[in-house]
Amino acid sequence: MRFLIAEDDFATRRLMQKYLSDYGNCDIAVNGIEAVEAFRLSLDEFNPYDLIYLDIMMSRMDGSKALQEIRKIELERNIEYSNYVKVIITTACEDSKNIIGSFREGCEAYLVKPIDRKKLIREMAKLGLIVLFN
């Protein structure tokens, strides 16, 4: 599996990378601009991501804007909806406006920080990316 972790906090990033490396390879972006760039590159190289973890609060370009850009690129490139990259928003803010906004922009799931291994794995299972045997 191929992951992109877009996260501006070093400690969170490192933790997520550690947990996810059991399931595949992780690329890292430290802001929204890099996240969009990484996504575009993955398409150009015919090596798309299976899952993007996208932090909302990031410098230069936030996660909401990055998600909009990613969906725009998919639309422009005539990618079939069923092949759209799965996006899980990660954020510290649990307010409903934020959550509803993220779903409207096209994310599949929403994780409230602090992130732990259980949360990460449970969401991947919910999206059908992995199967849990317990």
Residue nearest to Mg ion (CB): 57
Residue number with CB closer to Mg ion (16 or 74): 16
Residues 115, 58: Cα–Cα separation, whole Å: 16
- DSSP alpha helices (H): ranges in 54-115? 63-76, 96-104
Contact between 34 and Mg ion per CB under 5 A: no
- Paired residues of 2 in beta bridges: 25
Cα–Cα distances in Å, from 113 out to 21, 57, 92, 110?
Answer: 19, 12, 5, 10
For 58, the token pair is 């990031």
Q: What is the dihedral of CA 67, 68, 73, 75, to 10 degrees?
A: 120
- Which position among 29, 36, 49, 55 is part of the footprint of Mg ion (CB under 5 A)? 55
- Give the nearest distance from C-beta 7 to Mg ion in angstroms: 6
Residue number with CB closer to Mg ion (34 or 55): 55
**Angle at alpha carbon of residue 128, lines to 62 and 50, rounded to 5°:** 45
Selected range binding Mg ion among 54-62, 81-89, 95-103, 108-116, rule: CB under 5 A? 54-62
Peptide bond into 48 cis (omega under 30): no
- Give the nearest distance from C-beta 16 to Mg ion in angstroms: 12
Selected range binding Mg ion among 49-57, 72-80, 93-101, 118-126, rule: CB under 5 A? 49-57
- Give the nearest distance from C-beta 44 to Mg ion in angstroms: 27
The interface mask with Mg ion, positions 56-95, x = CB under 5 A, is -x--------------------------------------
Instruction: Provide the binding-site residues for Mg ion, judged by CB under 5 A.
Output: 8, 55, 57
